[in-house]
Amino acid sequence: MLEENKRKAEEAQRREAEEQLRREEQRYRELEELQRQKEEAVVRKKQQEEEERRNQMKLLGKNKSRPKLSFALGLK
């Protein structure tokens, strides 16, 4: 009887350790996924900013901070 109780206790302890390990592995996978999503968001944001910068350069002209306008049109 004592031997059986000891075996049951060891088995329960082993199952609990396996369950704990499974929970830790699941949490690790979740954290990896969150990290991957954050990194993808940073890449998307940089791409979007670059696209906006290119579009603005198209509107303003090559490497110009302001559009090229002549203010002397009606001064003569």
Residue ranges of domains in the chain: 1-58
What pLDDT shows up at residue 2?
Answer: 87
**pLDDT tens digit string along 58-75?**
887 765 555 555 565 555
| Under-50 pLDDT residues of the chain | none
Structure tokens at 18: 């396996």
What pLDDT shows up at residue 60?
Answer: 77
What pLDDT shows up at residue 57?
Answer: 82
Q: What is the dihedral of CA 37, 38, 41, 47, to 10 degrees?
A: -120
Structure tokens at 44: 């998307």
Overall pTM surpassing 0.85 (yes/no)? no
